[in-house]
Structure 1
Amino acid sequence: MTQYAADPATPFTETTIESVLLDADLFVKYSSPERAFDLLRDAIDRSPRSIGLREKMRDICVRQKNLNEAARQCLALVSLYIGREDFDLAYDRLQEAKLLDPRISVAPGLEAIRRARRPEFATAPKTSQVVRTDLTFAGNLAYVSIFDAVQVIENSKMTGLLVVKSDLHLANVSFNDGRIVDAECNGHNGVAAFRMIVEIGSGTFEFSTSDHEFPIVINVTNNTNFLLDVLTELDHERAEKHGLRDVSGELQ
């Protein structure tokens, strides 16, 4: 194996990082994942902003079922990708962190991505969103509504994360056995976030299944009734805002 500089205060060069990555692969290949983990941990301590080192650590931890460390590396990678303005990868790692550890709140990460990419919206022409194909299902909100996507998940009783991306929103909805249990959108969570999500009419959505259930923040017995209640509340609020009187109760 490669010998590395002894001074722990000296960051690794790109050449040294490549050697570390190769050695880590060899350790895993020859059934020594613990040595690969120790090697990468020491390397990351010396070069904490190396995306290559953190991605390798994430990959090995996922394969070795060290999910807490994998989630931690995902969160670190979010910040690094935001710094490189690679917002799609930042969002992918944030989504992966949530899937690896459902206890994680992604609201701060969503807000950081939204703030970082907001100047881009004001100056750059809008481009079509790219829909990934390595997911359970995905679609374009111009053709498939949030309501329809939720019904598919509910009917299939799937546990996982529905992520929604648009020019002004980064959001997700958590499901346990097809039932809505949490939502996060632009720094908000729970019902407040879901109220924002149901009004998103453009962008894309992606759904990934999870082996782990998510903490219950929104407690509903029926997704459809919950959706209809939220939409009704929003309609009433819009009517009041425009000075219109709600007469639904008077017609009963």
Structure 2
Amino acid sequence: MTGGELTLGAVPARLEEREREITAQAETMREQVAQPTAQLDEPGRAARAEAAGSSGLPADHGGVRRGRPPAAGPAGVWAGATGPASAKPVRSGRVRDAFGARSGRKDRSRPTKAKGCRRETRAKRAIPRLRQVRLKVLEAPSEWSRFTEDSVERRMLLALGHRLGTRLRPKPLMLPDGNRVEVEGIDAEGLVLVQLVSNQGAYKPAYRNKVMADMFKLLWLREAVPTAERAVLLVSELVVQALGGWVACAAADLGIEIYVFDGNAVVTLPRRT
């Protein structure tokens, strides 16, 4: 056997020695690659530790999110892995942000919500206190004001006065600032306030708006006229259609009396089933 020849018994020993050299070189390269990544990940690790302290999670939870693998350890090995160690490092927060900026991808990660946090809500606004307005009943220039002799409004007021046993006439009311508003019917003592909805002909959906506007006006006048006690809404037979649904129920709950003029006399609003 010459000096450059190997015996069959020396081959296994030489192979084992070569394998150890390759393994050592691989470990050295792995440490060199993982060391910069671990240094870059220090700020992110400190931030996660601080967030974990405020949220009650352990400091080494690694910022694990549902559906994502755990963060890498200092040697680039998956933390908590049960199988063979992987040499693939995980990008830290700073490296991930830089990589996303270069590639044009957005960072879709959401900040971890601290345990026990509540959603901020705006404080409810206090309901403003209504300013009490007092109206003064004035004398009308004429007994019937704008209601002509043969008008439906005049016949409705006469029929309602006969039903209630009092004399009703239209009169103007004056606000504290000097403005005026007219009530279509009021008795001499100022106890009863009346609004009329006297539409004739074909029914129109707009009549419902007139009914609700007069209901609103009656509620205001009943509070603003010091002597007022009753609020009455008198409608024609045609306008009864506008009182369907919740309107008549709301009027009853608000204390507004509703009567119907059938052309000759005043009757109570028929109950709907």
Alignment TM class, shorter chain as reference = under 0.3
For normalisation by structure 2, the TM-score amounts to: 0.20
Choose between structure 1 and 2: higher helix proportion: 1
Which has the higher relative contact order, 1 or 2, with Cα contacts under 8 A spaced 6 or more apart? 1
Who wins on radius of gyration, i.e. which is larger? 2
